[in-house]
């Protein structure tokens, strides 16, 4: 156990110095280096915003049930069922039918693709229905159907929220699912929380619709940004789904901030056809049910590129472009909880954590040196090396350090000392019976290895479980603890053992005392 080949020694110290160098990157004051890795500070250490968002899927359910109208009518017609008084109310479809019993057999049959045939073997249907008075039936989404809609909307919302926050440039955001309908957003170091709230609060559903006085095909009356009341056709010429890119720009003549957009091929065809057929008319650009601009169509636009103007500031144009690039949210997002952590509180947390780490570290060093003399010095060197390697690994991973993470580092100090105490106490027992000092140290390391491994592996398993099932700060604690256990084993059984072997082999003919 005390014998090290030159190759082994070189490998041990190369690993140590390579990882430790990364820990020093956190001391640099400028980002203009060939390596910009560092440990990031969490919300509780550098301040920032905490938002808990909740999706409101009511409008989406209404939209989905609306899409079932035509397929359902076709299903009834193809099977010879007469219906009347078709209505959509309270997220349900209601209608009167002449043969309830036949409809009952038809609704859950294999011929009915409307119910979602891929999962009917499990009796998990997308739609359900209820019988009402006077041969009325009410078709609605089943519990499974609502859960499917909700889950899809939540996953899509998380992805779009992530895109919007990434475009703003916020570093190290935490975006996690919470329960069935909620999204947790943590933004460390955020200086403008109101802007993020505004961006996340908009669904960004964009569509282009013609201004029309002809109410024959149905119109909506909407108010433009200038206060003008316009009648807008219900027919959507093109939606925001056809946008490839959107960027803020400045009009040269009026020096007015605008948003330039680029369409995909299908969008370019739709836009080109609509502008060709409606030269001289006005085209309303509607965002989240509000008219942001209603320019005249002076000529056909067939290039697939266009521009949105609306008395924007440059910041508003930038945010609008960001919203259009990231895509529309499937449902509105409500802010159900909001907290802001000031940087002063974060600084206090850092000072408290660092102070507790330094005090604990100094006390451990004093105790180890008093208890084991020169070998206590070896343990202290290994402890310092352990912390350097731990911070180095966290830097390589660009991990986010939180208060629980600091607690994990402090616990690592205790685990590292515990490993060396177990080894040295085992060696003291061997020195009582062994005449050979080298053999006593060798046997002590060998016999203590199983105990040290058992103690650290069980703690590592606990850290893995915390990481797998925990969230947020709990994961941060688990990561630092898990990495600390690995670095503890490395420093105790490689670095400390090598330093111990140097002392023992050098003083082989002397009376070596471990305390």
* CATH number of the domain within which 446 lies: 1.20.1640.10
**Is 377 in the same domain as 466?**
yes
**Is 450 in the same domain as 389?**
yes
Cα–Cα distance, 80 to 78 (Å, whole number)? 6
pLDDT digits (tens, 9 = 90+) for 243-285: 888 888 887 666 788 888 888 888 899 889 988 988 888 888 8
**Is 214 in the same domain as 277?**
yes
Torsion, Cα 465 468 472 476, to 10 degrees, reads 60
Cα–Cα distance, 302 to 288 (Å, whole number)? 26
Q: Which pLDDT score, from 0 to 100, does residue 119 have?
A: 45
pLDDT digits (tens, 9 = 90+) for 405-416: 888 888 888 888
Compute the average pLDDT of residues 361-390.
88
Q: Which pLDDT score, from 0 to 100, does residue 385 have?
A: 92
Of all residues in the chain, what percent carry a pLDDT higher than 90?
9
72-76, 105-109, 371-375: which range is least confident on average? Answer: 105-109
Q: Which pLDDT score, from 0 to 100, does residue 11 have?
A: 92
User: Which residue has better confidence, 168 or 365?
Assistant: 365
Compute the average pLDDT of residues 183-189.
84
**Is 500 in the same domain as 380?**
yes
With a cut of 60, say whether residue 509 has pLDDT above it. no
Which of the four pLDDT bands, split at 50, 70 and 90, describes residue 33?
Answer: low
Cα–Cα distance, 332 to 200 (Å, whole number)? 9
Query: What is the maximum span of the chain, computed from C-alpha positions, in angstroms?
Result: 108
Tell me, yes or no, whether 333 lies in a domain.
no
From 159, 177, 201, the end of a domain falls on: 201
Q: Which pLDDT score, from 0 to 100, does residue 470 have?
A: 77
With a cut of 50, say whether residue 121 has pLDDT above it. no
**Is 494 in the same domain as 410?**
yes
110-119, 125-134, 455-464: which range is least confident on average? Answer: 110-119
pLDDT digits (tens, 9 = 90+) for 380-436: 999 999 999 999 999 988 888 888 888 888 888 888 888 888 888 888 888 888 778
Domain extent for 98 = 59-146
Tell me, yes or no, whether 16 lies in a domain.
yes
With a cut of 60, say whether residue 134 has pLDDT above it. yes
Q: Which pLDDT score, from 0 to 100, does residue 482 have?
A: 92
In angstroms, what CA-CA distances link 384 with 365, 377, 388, 484?
10, 11, 6, 12
Tell me, yes or no, whether 230 lies in a domain.
yes
Out of 131-145, 339-353, 444-458, the most confident range is 444-458
**Is 176 in the same domain as 221?**
no
User: Which residue has better confidence, 183 or 103?
Assistant: 183
CATH number of the CATH domain containing 177 = 3.30.70.3220
Tell me, yes or no, whether 330 lies in a domain.
no
- Cα–Cα nearest to 196, from 173, 171, 174, 168: 168
With a cut of 80, say whether residue 43 has pLDDT above it. no
Which of the four pLDDT bands, split at 50, 70 and 90, describes residue 217?
Answer: low
Q: Are 103 and 137 in contact (CB under 8 A)?
A: yes
Out of 13-27, 41-55, 134-148, 341-355, the most confident range is 13-27
Compute the average pLDDT of residues 106-116.
62
Q: Which pLDDT score, from 0 to 100, does residue 120 have?
A: 45
Cα–Cα distance, 272 to 437 (Å, whole number)? 91
40-49, 268-277, 428-437, 487-496: which range is least confident on average? Answer: 40-49
Q: Are 43 and 408 in contact (CB under 8 A)?
A: no
Degrees, nearest 5: CA angle 34-40-46: 135
3-state helix, strand, coil in the chain (%, to 5): 55, 20, 25
From 161, 180, 201, the end of a domain falls on: 201
Edge-to-edge strand list for the sheet holding 283-287? 238-239, 206-210, 283-287, 290-293
Tell me, yes or no, whether 1 lies in a domain.
no
Q: Are 303 and 268 in contact (CB under 8 A)?
A: yes
Q: Which pLDDT score, from 0 to 100, does residue 195 have?
A: 79
Cα–Cα distance, 414 to 150 (Å, whole number)? 46
**Is 195 in the same domain as 215?**
no
**Is 350 in the same domain as 493?**
yes
The pLDDT mean for the chain works out to 82
**Is 441 in the same domain as 353?**
yes
Cβ neighbours for 238, distance < 8 A, ≥ 6 positions apart: 207, 208, 263, 267, 270, 271, 274
**Is 239 in the same domain as 307?**
yes
Burial (CB count within 10 angstroms: exposed 0-12, middle 13-18, buried 19+), residue 108:
middle
**Is 347 in the same domain as 463?**
yes
**Is 371 in the same domain as 501?**
yes
Q: Which pLDDT score, from 0 to 100, does residue 122 have?
A: 45
Q: Which pLDDT score, from 0 to 100, does residue 223 have?
A: 75
Which of the four pLDDT bands, split at 50, 70 and 90, describes residue 54?
Answer: very high
Tell me, yes or no, whether 117 lies in a domain.
yes
Structure tokens at 280: 């001289």
Q: How many domains does one find in the chain?
A: 4
Which of the four pLDDT bands, split at 50, 70 and 90, describes residue 112?
Answer: low
pTM value > 0.85: no
CATH number of the CATH domain containing 233 = 3.30.1360.200
Which of the four pLDDT bands, split at 50, 70 and 90, describes residue 19?
Answer: very high
Tell me, yes or no, whether 512 lies in a domain.
no
Which of the four pLDDT bands, split at 50, 70 and 90, describes residue 206?
Answer: confident
Tell me, yes or no, whether 407 lies in a domain.
yes
Structure tokens at 514: 């471990």
Q: Which pLDDT score, from 0 to 100, does residue 118 have?
A: 43
């Amino acid at each position: 156990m005390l014998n090290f080949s030159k190759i082994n020694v070189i490998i041990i110290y190369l690993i140590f110095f390579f990882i430790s160098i990364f820990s020093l990157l956190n001391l640099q004051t400028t980002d203009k280096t060939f390596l910009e890795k560092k440990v990031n500070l969490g919300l509780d250490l550098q301040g920032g915003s905490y938002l808990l968002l909740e999706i409101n899927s009511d409008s989406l359910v209404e939209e989905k049930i609306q899409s079932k109208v035509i397929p359902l009518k076709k299903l009834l017609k193809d099977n010879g069922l007469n219906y009347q008084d078709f209505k959509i109310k309270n997220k349900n479809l209601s209608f009167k039918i002449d043969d309830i019993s036949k409809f009952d057999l038809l609704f859950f049959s294999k011929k009915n693709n409307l119910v979602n045939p891929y999962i009917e073997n499990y009796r998990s249907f997308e739609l359900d229905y209820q019988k009402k008075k006077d041969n009325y039936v009410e078709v609605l989404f089943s519990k499974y159907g609502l859960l499917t809609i909700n889950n899809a909307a939540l996953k899509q919302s998380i992805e779009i929220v992530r895109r919007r926050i990434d475009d703003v440039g916020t570093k190290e955001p935490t975006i996690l699912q919470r329960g069935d309908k909620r999204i947790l957003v943590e933004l460390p170091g955020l200086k403008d929380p109101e802007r993020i709230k505004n961006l996340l609060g908009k669904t960004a559903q964009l569509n282009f619709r013609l201004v029309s006085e002809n109410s024959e095909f149905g119109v909506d009356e909407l108010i433009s940004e200038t206060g003008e009341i316009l009648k807008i056709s219900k027919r959507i010429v093109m939606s925001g789904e056809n946008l490839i890119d959107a960027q803020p720009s400045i009009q040269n003549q009026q020096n007015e901030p605008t948003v330039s957009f680029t369409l995909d091929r299908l969008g370019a065809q739709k836009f080109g056809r609509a502008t060709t057929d409606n030269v001289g008319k006005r085209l309303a650009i509607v965002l989240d049910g509000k008219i942001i601009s209603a320019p005249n169509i002076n000529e056909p636009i067939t290039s697939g590129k266009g521009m949105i103007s609306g008395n924007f500031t440059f910041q508003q144009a930038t945010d609008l472009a960001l919203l259009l690039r990231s895509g529309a949210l499937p449902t509105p997002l409500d802010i159900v909880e909001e907290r802001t952590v000031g940087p002063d509180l974060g600084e206090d947390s850092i000072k408290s954590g660092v102070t507790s780490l330094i005090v604990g570290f100094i006390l451990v060093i004093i105790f180890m040196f008093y208890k084991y003399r020169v070998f206590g010095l070896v343990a202290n060197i290994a402890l310092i090396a352990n912390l350097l390697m731990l911070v180095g690994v966290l830097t390589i991973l660009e991990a986010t350090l939180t208060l629980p993470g600091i607690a994990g580092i402090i616990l690592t100090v205790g685990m590292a000392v515990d490993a060396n105490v177990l080894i040295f106490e085992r060696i003291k027992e061997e020195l009582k019976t062994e005449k050979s000092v080298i053999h006593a140290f060798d046997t002590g390391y060998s016999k203590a290895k199983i105990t040290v491994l058992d103690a650290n592996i069980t703690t590592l398993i606990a850290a893995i479980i915390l990481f797998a099932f925990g969230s947020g700060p709990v994961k941060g604690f688990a990561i630092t603890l898990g990495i600390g256990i690995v670095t503890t084993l490395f420093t105790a059984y490689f670095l400390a053992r090598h330093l111990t072997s140097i002392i023992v082999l050098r003083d082989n003919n002397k009376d070596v005392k471990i305390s």
